[in-house]
Structure 1
Amino acid sequence: MVWRVDRLGRSLIDVLNTVTLLRESGIGIRSIQDGIDPATTSGRLMLNMLATLAEYERELITERVNAGIAAAKASGTQFGRPRVEPAVIAEKLAIVNDARAKGRTATDAARLVGWSRATFYRHNATAQSQDS
């Protein structure tokens, strides 16, 4: 039992492959919402049509999302995490390195400025590569 045919896969090929695999294994399929029984000829026809429509609907959604993202970028919307000023990073790095020089572990020193150990190592490596 499935709620709707489009729950069986992301594309027409996925749905048909899943239905074929299950039928070959002797497993019957019923769609609750669509009322489709792929064991019958008309059921297979309906399955193909609904799976095709479901794939079309997913592609439309993807196109709309991508168009929305493009429109947002065109209007100046910034995506992702905001950039941190290099001066702020340098200041925090100095605090962490000072704490490390006084014997603190990398994890403890990084927590002083709200960083993880990995963030400290990443910023430290970037700063050292810029100095070289």
Structure 2
Amino acid sequence: MAIVGYARVSTLDQSLHSQTDELRAAGASRIFEDKASGKLDTRPGLAAALDYLRDHEGDVLMVTRIDRLGRSVQHLVRVVDDLKARGIEFRSLHEGIDTTTAGGEMFFVIFAAIGQFSGRIISERTHEGLAAARARGRRGGRPRAMTPNKLATALRMRADGHTYDEIAGTIGVSASTVSRALANALEAIA
């Protein structure tokens, strides 16, 4: 069984030394590092560590603190579940999470359940907020580039023989937007 460490700091001017020293002292035989935000799901050092662990059933991925692996509970749960499916354990030194023990595994399951609950609450609040906005007549999403006034101008200009590029330049949208809007308008009339 090998212990593989993962260390991460958020900015380039921060040092990884305290984490790497702590990981080595706890038995890490190999350490992968990143200088990147924990909000990023794809980080080169983490990807290399996970790839290295791919063929090492029985090994352990270890971090000094759980927030070094990631800031999103959902991302943390995905990574640890993926490791577990491959027979690889997880250990976080400061939080005392160690999935090689029954207590550590139970703690992580509770942690994952809280994360899932939190995600569902956020999703429900988002849906409630969107429904309330719709009830007040507001639409979500990006505003349409082609307003009714721009469409009317585009229809007049096209009838006068102007090209899509000329129309687009005049009303401030792309030629493909003009083409699509005019085709939809003509289809609606037909």
Same fold at TM > 0.5: yes
| Structure 2, unaligned runs of 5 or more | 1-62
Q: Which of 52, 76, 80 is matched with 1:8 structurally?
A: 76
Structure 1 letter corresponding to 2:168: A
Q: Is 1:107 paired with 2:139? A: no
Q: What percentage of residue pairs aligned between the two structures are identical? A: 25
Residue aligning to 1:53? 114
Contact 1:96 1:110 in 2 (8 A): no
1:15 Cα offset (Å): 6.0
Corresponding position of 2:180: 122
The structural deviation recorded for 1:56 is: 0.8
**One of 84, 106, 109 as aligned partner of 2:147:** 84
Alignment partner of 1:112: what SS? Answer: helix
Match 1:19 to one of 83, 86, 95: 83
* Counterpart-to-counterpart distance in 2, 1:72 and 1:79: 8
Two-structure CA RMSD over aligned residues (Å):
2.9
Q: Structure 1 pair 124/38, CA: closer, same or farther in 2 (3 Å)?
A: same
Counterpart Cα distance in 2 of 1:108 and 1:91: 12
* Structure in which a larger fraction of residues adopt strand: 2
CA distances 1:19-76 after superposition (whole Å, capped 9, x unpaired) = 3135x2xx44223663311111111010111111111111111111211222222233
Partner of 2:92, secondary structure, is: coil
Once the two structures are TM-superposed, the CA of residue 117 in structure 1 deviates from its matched residue by: 1.5
Work out which structure has the larger RCO, using CA pairs closer than 8 Å and 6 or more positions apart in sequence.
Answer: 1
**Shift of residue 108 of structure 1?**
4.5
- Matched to 2:76, the amino acid is L
Residues matched between the structures, number? 119
Paired with 1:96 and 1:71, the residues of 2 have a C-alpha distance of: 40
The answer as to whether partners of 2:154 and 2:182 remain within 8 angstroms in 1 is no
Distance 2:106 2:121 in 1: 23
Unaligned runs of 5+ in 1: 101-105
Call closer, same or farther: CA 1:45–1:127 in 2, change over 3 Å: closer
Q: Shift in Å at residue 99 of structure 1?
A: 2.5
* Contact 1:38 1:47 survives alignment (8 Å): yes
Note closer, same or farther for the CA distance 1:131–1:73 as it changes in structure 2 (3 Å cut): closer
Structure 2 SS opposite 1:34: coil
Q: Which deviates more, 111-120 or 40-49? A: 111-120
TM-score w.r.t. length of structure 2? 0.51
DSSP-derived class of the 1:29 partner: strand
